[in-house]
Amino acid sequence: MRQYFDPAVSDAQMAVLAPALMDATQRFDPVATRRILLRRGINPNGIVPFMYRPLDVRWLYWDGETKLLDEKRPEFKRNGFEGNMWLEARQRIVTDFDRGLFTTALADNLGAGCSNYFPLYLAPDITSNGARRESLSGRARAYLAAVGAGAETLFYHALAVLHAPAYRTANAGALRQDWPRLPPPPAAALAASAALGRQVGALLDVRQPVPGVTHGAIAAALRLLGTMRHRAGAHEQLDSAAGHFGLRARWGTRAHGTVMPGNGRTSPTPDLPGHLDVWLNDDACWGAVPAAVWATTLGGYPVLKKWLSYRAAPVLARDLRLDEVQEFTRLVRRLATLRALAPALDAAYAGGPAASVGVAPQPG
């Protein structure tokens, strides 16, 4: 972005350095846009964390005055302050329900259609004396007052319910037709559900380390999952200089500015039924990835396969760094832990009242 805002760098040079910034479309004139932004100069606060795909947070230069980002989304950016958090949902789902993504960063549209993001808080306005506002409907406020709980508790309860397999199964037809309706439980059940929701949120927020899962002493059940090894076995040393970190097993390519996912390569893990080895190349793989974890979808995407497609060697034009290799292992362990929470999430959902009140999320 420093080069983009450097008038000594020509448009032609910029098109070589970052082609997507200079690709013209019917709604985007790259030359005119750059002229405007060159006059204004770079915004040092414009670089923000951005959830581009599920569990895939990157850095983005956000400009709210031009079409550099296609859509300005000022209402989204205004509420993207530090300490806020969001739930992603859709009003209608044509496939099995896999929404309910959690993010503490601004985020992209996920899957076909339009994602809606519901924040815990709204930015201050003239009525709030500079304080952030709770993003609650009138019915939600009345319910919380009755049970003596706060907005954050209700937010995490919603996250827990959306990830309970029993909720998704029981409401499969309704979830394809309209907003998720969430049961408002008694106070004790609400607190227990929210506690689980906090665990779900920590697992889905890749910017947040999770002790025992991604950092520290890894839980025994997770230690083998997603660890990288050489095809010849543990005795063979992995070496980045030898190309072992290059993701060349046909996971993705770039065509016309778009990343096209490939089939990649997986194989059954020897002596470990129900697990897969996910290959980087002919020599190295991430071993012992549970097949159910590999198949996990969130927001309309197969999480791990999508992550790999954007990091394939033909896309990045380089091998992976060690931290990127380790990040895939952490993703496997996050998703495995999330799946292991299913019985507890189902039990918390079943512990609510028999009759639930339909309360649709309220945007803004």
Q: Are 107 and 299 in contact (CB under 8 A)?
A: no
Mean pLDDT, rounded, of the chain: 92
Read off the pLDDT of each residue in 236-264 and give the average, rounded to a whole number.
92
Give the per-residue pLDDT at 232: 87
Can you give the pTM of this predicted structure?
A: 0.92
d(CA 155, CA 86): 9
Give the per-residue pLDDT at 131: 93
d(CA 269, CA 247): 19
**DSSP letters of 52-119?**
EETTEEEEEE--SSSSTTS---HHHHHT--TT--EEEE-S--SSS-----EESSEE---SSS--EEEE
Give the per-residue pLDDT at 361: 37
d(CA 225, CA 318): 25
Q: Are 119 and 79 in contact (CB under 8 A)?
A: yes
348, burial (CB in 10 Å: exposed 0-12, middle 13-18, buried 19+):
buried
Name the band, by pLDDT with cuts 50, 70 and 90, for residue 234.
Answer: confident
Give the per-residue pLDDT at 83: 93
Cα separation values, 215 from 142, 196, 202, 227, Å? 40, 20, 13, 14
Side-chain-side CA neighbours of 145 within 13 Å: the count stands at 7
Name the band, by pLDDT with cuts 50, 70 and 90, for residue 116.
Answer: very high
d(CA 11, CA 266): 42
Read off the pLDDT of each residue in 41-58 and give the average, rounded to a whole number.
94
- The larger pLDDT score, comparing residue 227 to residue 258, is at 227
d(CA 328, CA 344): 26
d(CA 169, CA 175): 10
pLDDT in tens, 322-361: 999 999 999 999 999 999 999 999 999 998 543 333 333 3
Choose among 311, 307, 308, 270: nearest CA to 288. Answer: 270
Amino acid at site 135: S
- The larger pLDDT score, comparing residue 214 to residue 76, is at 214
Choose among 328, 87, 86, 81: nearest CA to 206. Answer: 328
Task: Inform me whether the pLDDT recorded for 220 exceeds 80.
Answer: yes
Give the per-residue pLDDT at 64: 87
Task: Inform me whether the pLDDT recorded for 92 exceeds 90.
Answer: no
Task: Inform me whether the pLDDT recorded for 20 exceeds 90.
Answer: no
pLDDT in tens, 129-165: 889 999 999 999 999 999 999 999 999 999 999 999 9
Percent of the chain whose pLDDT exceeds 70: 96
Task: Inform me whether the pLDDT recorded for 180 exceeds 90.
Answer: yes
